[in-house]
Every structure is written in C-alpha cells, then in structure tokens.
Structure 1
Amino acid sequence: MSLTELFAVLFSAAGVWLTGRRAMLCWPVMLVASVLYGVVFWQAHLYADTGLQGVFAALSLYGWWGWLRGVRDEGAVQIVQPARATVLRGVALSLAAGLLMGAALFRWTDDPNPVLDALLSVFSVLGQIWMARRYLACWVVWLTVDVVYTALFVVRDLYLTAGLYAAFVVLAVMGWTQWRAVARKTGANSAS
C-alpha cells in the first residue's frame, strides 16, 4: 500500500458517499480520486483502468455540469428513469467495446487480466455516464462492477483498494436504496 493509494481510497469513498446523498460536491472529489487512482493503476500495470481514470476525470466535469442542470427548486438533484431501450443499448455497446478492448490489451500489453480489465473499465464508463445523467440504473451497474473489481484487486495484491471496492458494494446498495426511494416519492422522469 502506498500513500497515493491511501488518498485515492479516501477520496473515492467520499465521492461515492456524496453521490449517494446527491451532493454536488461528489464531482470535484471524484475528479481528485481519478487522478490519484490513475497513478496507482499505472504502477499496478492495469492499463485499461489507468486510461479509465482519465475518462473518469472528464466525466466528472460532465457529471458536474449535468447535475447543475438537473437540480430541482429545492436544491436536490432530480433522478431520471432511463428507457428500456437505453439500458439495452448501453449494455450491448459496453459488452462489445469491452471485448474489443480486451483483445487489444491481450495483444499489445502485459496486462495480466486483459478481458476482465477491459470489461470492467468499459462498464465503469457506462456507470459513470449514467450517473452523470442521473439514471437510477447507474447503481445496478456499480454494484455489479464493484463486486467483480473487489476480486480483481485482491488478485493484484491491491488489498486496500479491494477493501474500498467491497465498501463500494455497500455504498452502491445504499445509493440504490436512497435514489429509488426518492424516485418513487418524486415520480422520476423517464428518459430516452
């Protein structure tokens, strides 16, 4: 464990917790976490995850902007229910992109888990985009990704990060529960 990994863990946990509470501060906190984890993953030879952190940094800015536009009069971020076609399209495109990226990582890098690394990275992008768009379904993606990431990080000897992702599983359940309750109470809008 390095000091960089420790700070990455702390900022990441704070970012997810703030997201579950629909607090705008989650986005700058997650931006810092992305930069720190970019360094950690590069050192662990998880190249797809390293690149993912750059994408997350950009998506943090996009999410911040999107949430600013989705704030209701009472100051809370409005939750959106994606259309079924949007969900199916997102999952299918992510699966295809992950398999293609996995093949590239297998061919051109020393990534020890190229297909898994790629699939997790691509589905993380999907989860982040859906979170930026305030889709309730983002929490289902995060729950799935976080469970698998926990195991991957144990295998890569990133135990502190594995512990963080195990905590993310709990935070994803909490986020899903909180957002779902708000969506039911407010009648979440449908999106295409």
Structure 2
Amino acid sequence: MLLLTSLYEFWTSAAGNTPLEWVAVVTGFACVWLAARESLWNFPVAIVSCGLYISVYHSAQLYSDRNLQGVFIALSLYGWYEWLYGGTRRSALVVTRTRPGEWVGIGVGIVAFTTLSGYYLGHYTDAALPYWDSFTTAGSLAAQYLLVRKRLENWLLWILVDIIYVPILWYKELYPTSGLYAVYLILAGYGYVEWRRAARAAAAPAIPAA
C-alpha cells in the first residue's frame, strides 16, 4: 500500500508539471537520439528544446542551467555549420578522438567556471545548489563543444553530467526532466558505442579499388 501511495503521489506531481516542460522533454530526447545517430537534424531540434528549457529552468531557480540554454542554442547553430563544412577542404566532419590539449583546456575551464559561477550564484542570487548547478553547466558546455567538433569522448562527459543531473532535477521536483536525464544516460552509452564504431571506420585506411 505504501508503494502504491508513493507511486500515485509521484504521478500526480509529475502530471502537474507544466505542458512546456513535457514538450521540452520530448524534444530533448529527440535531439540526443538524433545526435547519437549522427543525424544533422539534432541541431534544429536542440534549438527548440533549449528555447523551452530557458523558461523551465528559470522557474526552478536553476539560473546557471537557464543561461546555459542560450549558449547551447549558439553552439547548435555553430555545430550545424561545422558538421556540414568543418572537415578537410570544407567537407563534412568525421568522428575523431579528443586531443590532449583539448582535455587540458576543458579541465581548467570546468574548474574555473564552477568556482566563479558557484560563488556568484551562491552570494548574489537565490539559486538552488549553486556549485552543483555551475558544475553541471560547465560539464555540459564542455560536452557540447566536443559534440560540435565530433569528438568521441563527448559522450563520456555527458554520462558524468547526466549522473549528477538526475538527483538535482528530482530534488527540484522536475520529475519529467529528471526521468529524461536518466534516459539520456542510456542514450549517451549508445552514442558512445555508435561513435566509436564510426571513429574506427574513419581512421581505417582506404582500400584501393581493384
């Protein structure tokens, strides 16, 4: 009986979330699925989803994640172009590994952003969980940059970020979005497997025709 009561309370709470959040959830799932499949359509769908989440995160007092959506929109526009023309001689990009210099820059950037943004949000706003919010924002930015450049390891960063997002969003009673990030974990694992296969195929030497 206690389990049934808990499930009923969860469902009624989740059903009470705004229709805007549900639409953002559906489009968010779609854009990650498309990215895992290396589909260029992930970018326009991501732009729609991020636009909706600006409102959702603002209402939940997750201001760093709200601001992140605007950056994601800009990165999606940039990534759309890069996937089409960012390769050799303006060809389409192929999946490659992250370079050591990129890892250094990402690590320094995440630490710096988390520290500065967390301090600001914690002292000058009513933000919930300012340092966790800032860390997930920084990690998401790094992962999105790697995705835009078609670096395989973007999926590993997404896995880390998603693991943290699930309890944060549940705590803020954004139940549909928390569930979405749990699904993102599975999609990120799938994306890593698919992109690793693509990276190996891109790195394999071409066999001349007989």
> Smaller-chain TM-score range?
over 0.9
Scaled by the length of structure 1, the TM-score of the pair is 0.92
Structure 1 unaligned segments of length 5 or more: list them. none
**Counterparts of 1:83 and 1:12, CA distance in 2:** 28
The 5 Å alignment of 1:12-27 reads 12-27=28-43
**Counterparts of 2:87 and 2:25, CA distance in 1:** 28
2:131 to 110, 115, 120: 115
Q: Which has the higher mean CA deviation after the structures are superposed, 28-37 or 84-93?
A: 84-93
**Counterparts of 2:79 and 2:202, CA distance in 1:** 21
Q: Which has the higher mean CA deviation after the structures are superposed, 81-90 or 176-185?
A: 81-90
Determine if contact 1:81/1:136 at 8 Å carries over to the other structure. yes
Please name the residue that 2:109 is paired with: 93
Aligned structure 1 segments of 4 or more residues deviating by more than 6 angstroms = none
Structure 2 unaligned segments of length 5 or more: list them. 1-16, 205-210
Q: Is 1:158–2:162 an aligned residue pair? A: no
Please name the residue that 1:134 is paired with: 150
Please name the residue that 2:98 is paired with: 82
**Counterparts of 1:144 and 1:96, CA distance in 2:** 18
Identical aligned pairs, as a percentage? Answer: 35
Please name the residue that 2:4 is paired with: none
Q: Which amino acid aligns with 2:169?
A: F
Determine if contact 2:82/2:92 at 8 Å carries over to the other structure. no
The 1:76/1:21 distance shift into structure 2, 3 A limit, reads: farther
Q: Is 1:64–2:111 an aligned residue pair? A: no
Please name the residue that 1:9 is paired with: 25
CA-based RMSD of the aligned residues comes to: 1.6
Query: Structure 1 residue 71: deviation in Å?
Result: 6.6
Scaled by the length of structure 2, the TM-score of the pair is 0.85
**Counterparts of 1:65 and 1:181, CA distance in 2:** 23
Q: Which has the higher mean CA deviation after the structures are superposed, 122-131 or 91-100?
A: 91-100
Q: Which has the higher mean CA deviation after the structures are superposed, 109-118 or 78-87?
A: 78-87
Matched pairs, number: 186
Q: Please list the CA deviations of residues 59-113 of structure 1 after superposition, one character each: whole Å capped at 9, or x if unmatched.
A: 11011111111479xx975112121221122122212111110000001111120
**Counterparts of 1:70 and 1:179, CA distance in 2:** 17
Q: Which has the larger radius of gyration?
A: 2
Determine if contact 1:70/1:78 at 8 Å carries over to the other structure. no
Match of 2:97, SS?
strand
**Counterparts of 2:54 and 2:146, CA distance in 1:** 21
